[in-house]
Amino acid sequence: MESKDSKLQTAVSHWSYRFVSNGVPLADFNDVSAQINKWDEWCEAWENKGHIHALLGDNASAEGFNLSASEHYNTAAVCCHFGKFLFVHKPDIMKKTHNFAVEYHKKSMSLANPFGERVSISWNNIHMQGNLRKPNNVENPPVLIMCMGLDSAKEEMETNEKVFLERGIATLTFDGPGQGEAEYDAAICPEYEGPVSAVIDYLETRSDINPKKIAVWGVSLGGYYAPRAASFDDRLKACISLTGPFNWNNIFDRIPSLTKEAFIHRSKCSSEEEARDFASRMDLSGCAQNIKCPLYIVGGALDRVVPPEESKLLADAVKGDVVFNMIEDGTHVANNRIYKYRTQSADWLSSILKG
């Protein structure tokens, strides 16, 4: 039997919980993990899984079963997303699979309940694409801005959005600089308060949400972006940070090799040394004390990507109201223990925005 290369082994060992908690069937993860032996085979294998689910969506749609079709298309999108998420060494293949993820997710949103609206928000000559979903039977709901991480994108967020929508909170997931649809034209932006403020500006133009009740959420590197934005924009009424770094330089030399390669690629740096210098701009130590809104922080004590000490640094730096949920048996983003923070953070946010 041919042995699996080290990058593939890293992907399989690090990401199974994340895939399953965000909508990939466990059987599909096991199939791909067993069927391929090289990292170079990863993206195509996941795209093929995506097409299988998309065909099920086509069949359900043709028979008028729109909710079933939406679910199948969402699974297709998530499979394709996870094919491309760290496949930066072959950008043409990555982008082809990414395009399928986007198109399948568009189909899913158009048939979902509640349905999703695709929006475009301009910032610094970048067109940031987002998905806005509003809860059923709630007039002018509060809204949660959802910030992606280094390798996540809006097409991955269905299961994360659900807990907030069920509690009457609208969600706006978006691809910022260096993320998702914006990663090809723009580098990662350490000063992420800029993109988030532009999203808030956009939301204030809409008459169908409550512009006075806007919160921000971020996952992984987005768990840096969200409190960074809250440090600078007082229009945010609450902030949720999921296992984000306090200072990216603290962990740069410890992150897995695939994650480091993705950071170098998406920061548009030409070398590891240049990327390390770039990472020095991603530091909350000079601004976290300015956060005025309530903050919910999740840490994973078993996190091998962002050490749990980073979450503790954020909790210690802020001066206002903080809930610090350190999950002792949690991995990165505590994806292996989502039942210990997803509903809890959603209930916390609901009590603030709807209180």
Domain span holding position 38: 1-113
Number of domains in the chain: 2
User: Where does a domain end: 68, 87, 113?
Assistant: 113
Domain CATH for 225: 3.40.50.1820
Per-residue pLDDT of the chain (355 residues; tens, 9 = 90+): 578 999 999 889 889 999 999 999 999 999 999 999 999 999 999 999 999 999 999 999 999 999 999 999 999 999 999 999 999 999 999 999 999 999 999 999 999 999 999 999 999 999 999 999 999 999 999 999 999 999 999 999 999 999 999 999 999 999 999 999 999 999 999 999 999 999 999 999 999 999 999 999 999 999 999 999 999 999 999 999 999 999 999 999 999 999 999 999 999 999 999 999 999 999 999 999 999 999 999 999 999 999 999 999 999 999 999 999 999 999 999 999 999 999 999 999 999 998 7
Query: Of the candidates 113, 143, 172, which is a domain's last residue?
Result: 113
For the chain, report the end-to-end CA distance as a whole number of angstroms: 59
Strands 236-242 and 295-300: parallel
Last residue within a domain, chosen from 113, 145, 169: 113
Residues 211 and 66 in one domain: no
